[in-house]
Each structure stands twice: as C-alpha cells, then as structure tokens.
Amino acid sequence: MKKYYVLDKQTVEKLISVKKPGAYFLCVVLNNRFYELYVGRSDSCLRTRLLQHIGAGIYTHFRFRMCRSKKGAFLNECVGFHTYKHMANQIHPARNDEVECCPICRTDEEEQIISEHNAMFTKSKNDLRDNLMVSEENQEVC
C-alpha cells in the first residue's frame, strides 16, 4: 500500500536526507481518500524540492521515492505523469543528461521507424491482394 505523509517541514526533513535524487507526488485528501495531483522530481536534492512546495497551501500530503540516480528520478516522474489523468502538471517532465527519452513516449526517431514500417506493411498487403486478384482472374472455370 502506498504511504502518504503530511507535507510539512518537520516531516520532510525527518524522512528525506539531503542531496538525494527522487520523485514525489503531491496530494490532497477528499473523503478520506488520497488524490495524487502533482508529480515532480529532483535530480539533485529531493528534500530541497519538497520544501519548496510547503507554504503554497495547495497540497497537504505527499509520497515519495528515493532514487539511486537522476535517471531513476526521471523515470519515476514520467511513469507518474503518464499514469494519472488528473495531474495538475501541464508539461511533460524535462529530460536530464542521464536519459535519452521518456520510457513511455516515443522519440521522433521511433515514430519515423514505426510509420515507415506501417507504410511498408500496407504496401506489401496491397501487392499481395493485387496478385491474388490476378490469380483469381486466371483461374479456370471447371
């Protein structure tokens, strides 16, 4: 089960050591349920990043994931971004220098390869159909 914590200075400083990358979700509680509404990360210090959210008064709780690398923080943020539909996040998580692309989005290059593949597949399907039609025409009627 996911564990949520109160978003205040005391809790953040108690739970999260300095200079560690990680991802986090900011939440509100409605009818005793936690709603994760914002996902973020820090490549350098999760604690500092979370402390910045305190005082805005929008989110009351958070959950987090410490990561061993910047890459891990980014991947966790992306998964969160793509998993929840009602996130307040408007823009896709920005890449850092440890990652090539989001594991969920396709890169431009991948899009290109897939569309070329589809075009080839459609063409060969048409060729096959033309050949079949020809052979049908050539069929002798008994």
> Using CB under 5 A, which residues numbered 66 to 85 contact Zn ion?
78
Judged by beta carbon, residue 7 or residue 81, the one nearer Zn ion is: 81
Residue number of the CB closest to Zn ion reads 102
Residue with tokens 């990680």: 22
Q: What are phi and psi of 69, to 5 degrees?
A: -140, 170
**Contact (Cβ atoms closer than 8 angstroms) between residue 107 and residue 101:** yes
Question: Which of 16, 102 has the CB closer to Zn ion?
Answer: 102
Sheet with 5-6: strands ordered across: 5-6, 61-66, 22-30, 33-42
Least distance between Zn ion and beta carbon 100 (Å): 12
Span 92-111, contacts to Zn ion by CB under 5 A: 102, 104-105
How many chain residues bind Zn ion (CB under 5 A)? 4
Smallest distance, Å, CB 102 to Zn ion? 3
Give min distance, CB of 82 to Zn ion, in A: 6
User: 110 vs 130, which CB is nearer to Zn ion?
Assistant: 110
Q: How many CB atoms lie within 10 A of CB 44?
A: 13
Per this entry, what is the length of the chain? Answer: 142
User: What letter represents residue 107's amino acid?
Assistant: T
Rounded to the nearest whole angstrom, what is the least distance from the CB of residue 134 to Zn ion in the complex? 46
Which residues lie across from 61 on neighbouring strands? 6, 27
| Residues found near Zn ion in the complex (CB under 5 A) | 78, 102, 104-105
